[in-house]
Amino acid sequence: MKLEPRAVPLQDAPPKRKVKTTQVVNGIETEVEIEVEDVPAGQWPPRASLRVLNHDIPRVDGPVKVSGAARYTHDVRVPGMVWARLLLSPLPRARVAALDLEAARAVPGVVHVLVVEREETGWLGQPVAVVAAETLEAAGDGLRALAARFEPLPWVVDHAAAVREGAPAVGRGANVGRPETDGDEARARAALSASATRVRATYTVPVQHHASLETHGVVVDYRGGEDAVVYCSTQYAQGFAAEAAKELGLKAGNVRGVVEHMGGGFGSKFGLDAQGLYACRIAKELKRPVHLMLDRRAEFLMSGNRSGTSMTIEAGCDAQGSLTGLVAEAWKHGGLGRGSLSGLPYCYKAGAHFRDVRSVRMHLDASRAMRAPGHPQASFGMESILDELAYAAGLDLVEIRRRNAAHPAWVRQLDRVAREIGWDQHPHRTQPGKPDREECIGIGFGISNWGSGGSSDCEAEVRIEKDGSVVVACAAQDLGTGTRMYMAAIAAEEFGLPVAAVTARLGDSRLPTGVASGGSVTTPSVAPAVKDACTRARGAFAAHLAQVLGRSAEGFRFGPDGVRHDGMTERLAWSKACGTLPAEGLSARGKWQESLQTRGVRCTQAAQVAVDPGTGRVRVLHMVCLQEVGLALNRLAVKSQIQGGMIQALGYALGEGRQLDSALGLQLNASFEEYKIPHALEIPRMTTLIDDDDTRNGVAGVGEPPAIPGASAIANAVHNACGARVRELPITPDKVLLALGKVV
């Protein structure tokens, strides 16, 4: 029998229906209306029947990463490549008084000098010039030879200066944005007046940097002609190729975007950014490849950040602890941008409530999305005021949260984490401890949520080759979170294969349409598309075998013991079944299916700390996190993701925050020596729990919720330990001593 190659196309013009959903664009949640196929879609198998998925699966990319073989954008080297470095404005606002271009061009090895700002800079770290040279050292010499001179102009880099009457304008608009309001103020204030207990306090969170280990940057491999390959450390492999093509003057289809591996983004890496555009311009001019990766200082100054916030909250409750009213006035500090702050009351029912939020602009880099943008700030304010209200009313800290939680999932989660952290045996459940010991122990709590799901744009392809190998492909990138792993694991589950028998290809703009990895959308976008492609490929393979063996296609079963048919006693080994395929093998494309993903993820955390009231030192002893995830594709990776979010929250609580000298206009901690992220010895015991009571049989993103409530829980634990309520992050020893009244 002559066998023809069988490619399975997508269904022609399937019926559509519109649904409202939350999608994430560049890390920001947005409610949109989308069209989805109005046809029955596949379902994930019951959890009890899963052989590969919902288990601990070692990472397929682990060996190449620990051995150093994994190639990141920073590692790319191509023939004829030049190295480029940026000259940044050292002041928040200045006139560019002098640049000695000829001296820079005369430096041995320098091949190009590009000036991008000749007159006036408007923010600290704004690019002014780019020098390209044969070596990185020569590029640095060229920057110094520019002998740049900047004359300072009036600037504002702090809240008080920015809102002052007559303050220097930031850009063309007003420094203070229009109020964003929600709720009925008169009704909320009346509810507060009638409350049995009410408290009011101001809470402040600083600007937090993404601190990605791999900095932003690109390698533009263009040597003249009609084609180019652009390597970029980005969260959207398909999003930057068209930008590069426009800058290079090429057709969009002639520029390939590649992200083999990347060292973190956390919401900061979408698109080429300024440095990518400059690299393209230089490559076009020289007709040579250009390597332009930011150094660490530039990374801190010009690659975005989590916006800071100051919020004054007043809350009241009745005698039983039910919230009756809440009023919040908040300021967002997003530099040139608007900043972000999620709605208050955060995750709780608060009766009548009102909030007034305004942005304050400054001569600083614009904020960007960062892991759950706006949520950690809102969590810190809400969890802090709730604790203070509970203490004022003499209520149990867990019970007040159970009573006011806006979803029953948080109630069961609070019960579980309270048991894990030892709350029932803790002596300070309704009142904080006293600073009368060498080391005081405290416990705090926090809850969080994240609403995003998958993207209807995502597609995937599965190929089964004649030699039995299987390839799964999607243009989405793996940020280090394990996308490669579950792409291979889904196919392995579907065809009864070991994971090692499947190859995942991703991070290439020429593969089937991927998705921007922001806001935890990657898994609920990619996994359903891969599952759909596998289902279609399995159906096509069964139809092919039915022709070969003269059996019905519906009777074929794929498992670890090979291919079986309901009407046959013998099995067919996978390799032999694949051997019947034509030389071209078999392929199928799949699309995102709404029924295979789930939306809305809730998380609860607890922290136990030790506080030295003599020095103000805080040590986190134990953190517990229980999180919904729907169907966990890889339990090992899910727990790793949760731990990563908890560690970022630990840094936010105790050490991280941009430090500026307002008078000099300098960032004082623009390096990993001064910017304090958690180190190995600071990581506490971590109990990471997947909420298996969340029985929804769809996949969800994991990364946002665990980064949200940890800082709140730690701050509450410090207060619970010794009575030191620190209302401004990070919680440094001086602030603890100040809260204890030991310093003034």
CATH number for the domain including 520? 3.30.365.10
Contacts of 148 (CB under 8 A, 6+ apart): 87, 96, 98, 99, 128, 129
Report residue 41 as tokens: 């879609």
Within 319-374, residue ranges assigned H as helices are none
Measured CA distances, 475 to 56, 362, 481, 585 (Å): 25, 37, 15, 21
**pLDDT tops 60 at residue 225:** yes
Q: Of 252, 275, 293, which marks where a domain is finished? A: 293
Report residue 511 as tokens: 């593969």
| 351 assigned to some structural domain | no
**285 and 149 in a common domain:** yes
Q: Output the pLDDT for position 8.
A: 35
**669 and 573 in a common domain:** no
Neighbour-count burial of 606, counting CB atoms closer than 10 A to its CB (0-12 exposed, 13-18 middle, 19+ buried): buried
Strand 110-115, strand 127-133: pairing = antiparallel
Q: Which of 186, 678, 648 is nearest to 448 (CA)?
A: 648
**107 and 63 in a common domain:** no
| 405 assigned to some structural domain | yes
What total of structural domains would you count in the chain? 3
**237 and 102 in a common domain:** yes
What 3-state DSSP class applies to 574?
helix
| 330 assigned to some structural domain | no
Q: pLDDT digit string (tens) for 157-212?
A: 999 999 999 999 999 889 999 999 999 999 999 999 999 999 999 999 999 999 99
Measured CA distances, 180 to 32, 64, 111, 338, 382 (Å): 20, 48, 50, 11, 18
Q: Of 293, 324, 348, which marks where a domain is finished? A: 293
**Of the ranges 6-15, 322-331, 598-607, 659-668, which one carries the lowest mean pLDDT score?**
6-15
**pLDDT tops 50 at residue 309:** yes
| 666 assigned to some structural domain | yes
| 208 assigned to some structural domain | no
| 406 assigned to some structural domain | yes
Q: Output the pLDDT for position 12.
A: 41
**709 and 727 in a common domain:** yes
Judge whether 477 and 529 are in contact, CB under 8 Å: no
Q: CA–CA separation, 593 vs 605, rounded Å?
A: 31
**669 and 622 in a common domain:** yes
Q: Output the pLDDT for position 40.
A: 44
Q: CA–CA separation, 17 vs 99, rounded Å?
A: 59
Average pLDDT over residues 666-673: 98
Q: Output the pLDDT for position 29.
A: 53
Q: pLDDT digit string (tens) for 28-82?
A: 555 555 444 443 457 999 999 999 999 999 999 999 999 999 999 999 999 999 9
**242 and 121 in a common domain:** yes
**509 and 417 in a common domain:** no
Q: pLDDT digit string (tens) for 356-408?
A: 999 999 999 999 999 999 999 999 999 999 999 999 999 999 999 999 999 99
Judge whether 727 and 380 are in contact, CB under 8 Å: no
**pLDDT tops 70 at residue 345:** yes
**pLDDT tops 90 at residue 24:** no
Structural domain including 242 reads 73-154+216-293
Q: Output the pLDDT for position 157.
A: 98
Q: What is the CA radius of gyration of the chain?
A: 28
Percent of the chain's residues with pLDDT above 70: 94
| 197 assigned to some structural domain | no
Q: Output the pLDDT for position 121.
A: 98
Average pLDDT over residues 551-559: 95
Q: Output the pLDDT for position 744.
A: 77
**CATH number of 120's domain:** 3.90.1170.50
Q: pLDDT digit string (tens) for 693-738?
A: 999 999 999 999 999 999 999 999 999 999 999 999 999 999 999 9
Average pLDDT over residues 509-537: 97
Phi, psi (deg, nearest 5) at residue 682: -95, -5
Q: pLDDT digit string (tens) for 283-299?
A: 999 999 999 999 999 99
Q: Output the pLDDT for position 33.
A: 56
**537 and 482 in a common domain:** yes
Instruction: Tell me which residue has tokens 């196309």.
Output: 9
Q: Of 596, 615, 642, which marks where a domain is finished? A: 596
**pLDDT tops 60 at residue 509:** yes
DSSP 180-230: EEEE-HHHHHHHHHT-SEEEEEEEEE--B----SSPSEEEEE--SSS-EEE
**519 and 476 in a common domain:** yes
Going by pLDDT thresholds of 50, 70 and 90, the confidence category of residue 18 is: low
Q: Is the pTM of this model over 0.85?
A: yes
**pLDDT tops 70 at residue 487:** yes
Give 106's Cβ-side CA count (13 Å radius): 7
Q: Output the pLDDT for position 42.
A: 79
Q: Output the pLDDT for position 39.
A: 39
Q: Output the pLDDT for position 13.
A: 41
Average pLDDT over residues 518-533: 97
Percent of the chain's residues with pLDDT above 90: 93
User: 32-41: which pairs have CB atoms within 8 A and are 24 or more residues apart?
Assistant: 34/456, 35/456, 36/456, 36/594, 37/11, 37/591, 37/593, 38/14, 39/11, 39/14, 39/15, 41/532, 41/593, 41/594, 41/595, 41/596
Judge whether 596 and 528 are in contact, CB under 8 Å: yes
Q: Which of 330, 326, 328 is nearest to 339 (CA)?
A: 330
**676 and 574 in a common domain:** no
Quickly count: other Cβ atoms within 10 Å of residue 30's Cβ.
Answer: 12
**224 and 106 in a common domain:** yes
| 408 assigned to some structural domain | yes
